[in-house]
Chains A and B, each alone.
Chain A
Amino acid sequence: MSDKIVVRGVEKVFSTKKEDVNVLEGVDLEVREGEFFGIVGPSGCGKSTLLNCMAGFEKVTSGSIRIDGTEIGKPSPKRVFVFQETGIFPWFSVWDNIGFGLKGMSFDEKHEVVMKYIRLVGLEGFEKSFPSELSGGMKQRVEFARALAVDPDVLFLDEPFGALDALTRLEMRHEIVRIWQETKKTCILVTHDVEEALELSDRVAVMTNRPATIHSVIDNPLARPRDPDDREFRDRKDRIFEILGVERRV
């Protein structure tokens, strides 16, 4: 598989009135075409900032981020960001939300695309519902459908299940794996949940606090569906906790 995204020597400094805060210091990584890539790290370590830089929402202070060999510029529908608490618009129906990014299409063409993704995420019958009428998991499905409808190459997932309860989160993890297997998009997931990263990702980058950089990238080629009680799974989990300096047994 070829490299889709190449991050080289990325630094990000936020200037506040008092001082300059180094959020990222010399981040290097490669994400391959079609892979599910996880980034784990403690809260506030800069992993969301890195994702925002990759999506083009923030500019890097120095270093480079290339996608398909070109330096990233503005955000583009080729690379869609899925927000921590859903970024779907509460003033649009499910149908309008999913069709939000579709341009230059007749109504019939648009309807066909929207319905295709409504079916993909299993929301048939809810086309006319508003987000306020949906559960947290359903809103998240709408957001995935909205992102996929514009047929992007890359999906950026920023703690996408952070706002969901434990059971819904588990259900949505199954969903995202199924959707990823059906669509083969390159997915980059940022999370502080080590188990989640290992369940979903082909490789997991571990970020550490100060200096905020990639400590190591762990290969995770386990067969799916994955079992967190499996020995190989647990070994990897232990290793990540060790790198993060956290005792996982309470």
Chain B
Amino acid sequence: MIRKLLRGVLGFLVFLLFWYLATLGNKLGEIAPPYATFLGLIQLVEDGSLWQGIVASVFRVGWGFCLAAGVGIPLGVAYGWSQGIRETFNPVTQALRPISPIAWIPVATIGFGGVNWFGIEAQDYSAIFLIFLSSFFPIVTATTSAVRGIDRKYIRSAENFGVTGAELFRRVVVPAALPQILTGLRLALGISWVVIVAAEMLGVDSGLGWQINDARSNIRYDLIQATMVVIAVIGLALDSAMSRVEFAALARRGMSVR
């Protein structure tokens, strides 16, 4: 355990060393060395812009991801369960999937142009929509294959004991598909966090992505890199939170993560 931790720390130190050597002697306005990046981070914390950026980005990812799960899981269950529904709507779903959420930015911007529902601005709706798209496809695809892959003997057992309809879904279909659905959710959250930064580079004036773009206009590479470090840390935190949820949800049902 200690050895594993030490090795991880060593990896980071090697990375910092290369970063330091590659940026040796750089001045402000050029790619910043580690220490300058650290100072930039302090500045962002002190003037409060870091916290604002984090709140804006996490807010958008949170809503986009939750909406995608709310729509994607039921839809994936329907696709997986009914051949008719799957054959009708899955081709169009799969055709939309390879379109990068970034390509949707102009559409989202014009689509939500000027709205201000519940005191939330258009730029938030458009970013939430983009995160919805980036989460939705992995979730619906994972859920579809999870439900299609359920061992037939479980469905037959349920049928044998006269368990049908909503009860069949609640007691058999969803728990059987759960491990793979959770994997899909974790994947989707990771993608969302990658996409939010790109999505915030156009048409918004808040969030971590915007902050990078803003620092770039001011030629402050120290602030850009400080923001990148923050993105990495939050990304790790989201992933480990999701993996804890995954572990707990499965352990409660006597299953373990594969």
Contacts and interface: CB of A to CB of B under 8 A. Distances in A.
Interface of A: 55, 57, 74-77, 79-81, 83-85, 87-93, 100-101, 103, 130-133, 150
Contact of B254 (A57, A80, A103, A132): A132
Interface string B117-141: 0000000000000000000000000
A177 to B, nearest CB: 23
Contacts of A93: 254
A100 to B, nearest CB: 6
A96 to B, nearest CB: 9
B208 to A, nearest CB: 38
A91 B163 contact: no
Contact of A81 (B156, B162, B163, B172): B156
Interface of B: 153-154, 156-163, 171-172, 175-176, 178, 253-256
B154 A89 contact: yes
A130 B178 CA distance: 16
Which of B162, B255, B256 has the largest count of A CB atoms less than 10 A from its CB?
B162
Nearest to B151: A87
Contact of A57 (B156, B162, B178): B156
Contacts of B163: 100-101
6 closest A-B pairs by beta carbon, nearest first, are A130-B254, A101-B161, A91-B175, A91-B253, A87-B153, A87-B157
Nearest to A101: B161
Contact of B176 (A75, A77, A91, A150): A91
Contacts of A76: 160, 162
Contact of A75 (B159, B253, B255): B159
Nearest to A84: B153
Nearest to A80: B160
A90 B160 contact: no
Contact of A89 (B162, B172, B256): B172
A150 B176 CA distance: 23
Nearest to A93: B254
B162 A101 contact: yes
A75 B160 CA distance: 5
B156 A90 contact: no
Given A89-B157, A133-B254, A150-B161, 18 more contacts: A75-B159, A76-B160, A79-B160, A83-B156, A83-B157, A87-B153, A87-B156, A88-B157, A89-B154, A89-B175, A90-B254, A91-B253, A91-B254, A92-B254, A100-B157, A100-B158, A132-B254, A132-B256
28 contacts: A57-B159, A75-B159, A76-B162, A77-B162, A79-B160, A80-B160, A81-B157, A83-B156, A83-B157, A84-B153, A87-B154, A87-B156, A87-B157, A89-B154, A89-B175, A90-B254, A91-B176, A92-B253, A93-B254, A100-B158, A101-B160, A103-B162, A130-B253, A131-B254, A132-B254, A132-B256, A133-B254, A150-B161
